[in-house]
Amino acid sequence: MAVGIVIVSHSARLAEGVAELAGQMSMGEVTIAVAGGTDDGSIGTSIDKVTAALQKAANPEGTLVLLDLGSAVMVAEMALEMLDPQERERVLISTAPLVEGAVLAAVEASAGSTLQEVAEAANNGHEMPKGKHR
């Protein structure tokens, strides 16, 4: 079983798009759960959505959480506090860039890597070039 991934974003469409891209790159071998937008469909974050996504992606190998910005971090941390201590130990919140990190994490997870290896791969997203700098 592969490490699970949770995408937390202020936008449901953004979270779903990132999950779609990462899922394609992992050939569907990785559970990628999303928590995007508020409960009423507005832009924002929802602890209930994050908690549900954590439950969906949970597995014995662990879960990596990738976030967009701001309150997504706070809401993810609050959702983690609601987990029992054994479950909490198997979840890492990544500081990786959302899109690049999610794609690299999904590819690494699909190879059967450990949670730490998946987190390190996601962090390599910081180094991905996006064109020439002048």
- What backbone phi and psi angles, to 5 degrees, belong to 6? -120, 130
Considering 4, 5, 10, 37, which one is annotated as catalytic? Answer: 10
Structure tokens at 33: 């759960």
Q: Kind of pairing, strands 4-9 and 63-67?
A: parallel
Distance CA 120, CA 122 (A): 5
Q: How far is CA 7 from the centre of its chain?
A: 4
Residue 10 annotated to the active site: yes
Distance CA 36, CA 1 (A): 25
Active site residues: 10
